[in-house]
Chain A
Amino acid sequence: MSKPHALIVSGLAKSFTMHLRGDIELPVISGADFVLTCGQCAVLGGPSGAGKSSILKMLYGNYAVNAGSIVVRHRGRETDLAGAEPRKILEIRRETIGYVSQFLRVMPRVSALDVVAEPLVFSGAGREEAARRAAGLLQRLNLPERLWALPPATFSGGEQQRINIARGFITDHSILLLDEPTASLDAANRAVVLQMIAEKKAAGVALLGIFHDADVRDAVADTIIDVTGFAPDRRAA
């Protein structure tokens, strides 16, 4: 029996209109079709500039969608993210779709531990429980305990990325989007992240990621989605 789908993308298209550059039309993606399956990790493949990040951003609601649908299973119902109200998108982010971005946007005075615990608090968990799980993740990702109480602004790139990963992995969201989560990690920490991804899969989470490192990609990918297949017809542009 095949596993259920967590998210179905059909006919997805995206282009940018640069109004400050004489209204130039910049098509990025057209006719994208793919599904994310519960308990599997799909990886977006293709060269830089093919639109991998744009797809992730549309799935998280950061980019508007020009055409097509992104149907996600949310609160037991199928909801189209492409046309959803801002309030609905925020609700979906809080409960269903998690995101690990490439860079951490830091808050001046919020401690690393609180940054990690935050999404869990927002999804309704108690503060103590959230702090306990945050500490567990930071421990696993080998972030020295003396840093936990400090705001991550002055941390190194690798330390900030581990905060970001912990923040993305702390919730029990059923879909997780990963934008190069292992890019600035050493081998030991990369192995921890691979293990964490495997655990998410085992828990039935559907993952979609961008990984430039071929070893990482081979280790996590159940399917590769070739983004070059979604290239817009540039002759028409």
Chain B
Amino acid sequence: MNIAAPQASALQDDSIEQPLLSVRSLTRYYGTRIGCADISFDIWPGEVLAIVGESGSGKTTLLNCISTRLPPTSGTVSYSMRDGVLHDLFKLREADRRFLLRTDWGFVHQNPADGLRMAASAGANVGERLMAVGDRHYGHIRETAIDWLDRVEIDAGRIDDQPRAFSGGMRQRLQIARNLVTAPRLVFMDEPTGGLDVSVQARLLDLLRGLVNDLGLAVIIVTHDLAVARLLSHRMIVMKDGRVVEQGLTDRLLDDPQAPYTQLLVSSILQG
């Protein structure tokens, strides 16, 4: 029954009493229109949280706010930095926030072109983030890049090719390698399988599931696809009109949805 979702890594236990990321009463208006309103949740190390809802439900606004790409109108987002202290992200210096985004976090965009440098080689795309954390040794960078291309199932012979010569699925896998190479603790994903063929999607999901398990990553993934949420996430937040309608254990929300809107979403899944 629980085979689909990866289990939180065994590292997660009572000794880690502090969440990695803590969101409180987060609200974002666009003028007088609500983007997302009064959102609160925590995410712990090794946990995968899916934010689901249809287009316009506010899930991307929420993702952009918690990843500090968009300032909220009110509310707080706190992150447990490597010093073990929770910091309010919007009170950090810009330079610290950028460093966080480049090293301790990853962001996987729906469109790989938004997350890759399309005119740089595949190897450079992966190596760039290593250099951001201070690696200057060319041989080591190239070796690590080859290792990561292999982990995302891209032939090492393609290391000097530019991603624009890659298929959509390969580009997405390259974007994932670029994000994971610095061993981030938290990765944001915005519809990572959107726009891919079904067979390519399945391969990417398998790959992501394996990597998340092996690395013990915390992931916040935005998707409109409940099958993706079932496969990858432990917990789920269902959004509608900018607000949370229901949140909880992924398989419970799918097997026993309580809110009328969640029941509608679940009853709309095609039986496979």
Contacts and interface: CB of A to CB of B under 8 A. Distances in A.
Nearest to A75: B14
B248 interface: yes
Contacts of A119: 7
Leading 10 A-B pairs by shortest Cβ distance: A19-B260, A101-B1, A124-B10, A122-B7, A86-B249, A109-B206, A63-B256, A62-B255, A105-B3, A108-B202
Nearest to A125: B10
A123 B8 CA distance: 10
Q: Contact residue range for chain B?
A: 20 to 34
Contacts of A62: 1, 249, 251-252, 255-256
Nearest to B207: A109
8 contacts: A64-B256, A87-B235, A93-B7, A94-B10, A107-B4, A107-B206, A107-B209, A118-B3
A166 B110 CA distance: 38
Contacts of A90: 7-8, 234, 249
B203 A109 contact: yes
Interface string A87-112: 10111011000010100111111100
B94 interface: no
A93 B12 CA distance: 13
A19 B7 CA distance: 31
Interface string B222-259: 00000000010011000000000000110110011011
B249 A89 contact: yes
Contacts of A110: 206
Contacts, number: 84
B264 A20 contact: yes
Interface in A113-160: 115, 118-119, 122-124
Interface residues of A, number: 35
Contact of A105 (B1, B47, B248, B249): B1
Contacts of B10: 94, 122-124
A17 B262 CA distance: 12
A19 B264 CA distance: 8
A26 to B, nearest CB: 12
Interface string B1-26: 11110011110111000000000000
B107 interface: no
Interface string B190-217: 0000000000001100100100010000
B199 to A, nearest CB: 9
B44 interface: yes
A61 interface: yes
Find the residue from A61, A86, A89, A109 having the highest chain B CB count within 10 A. A86
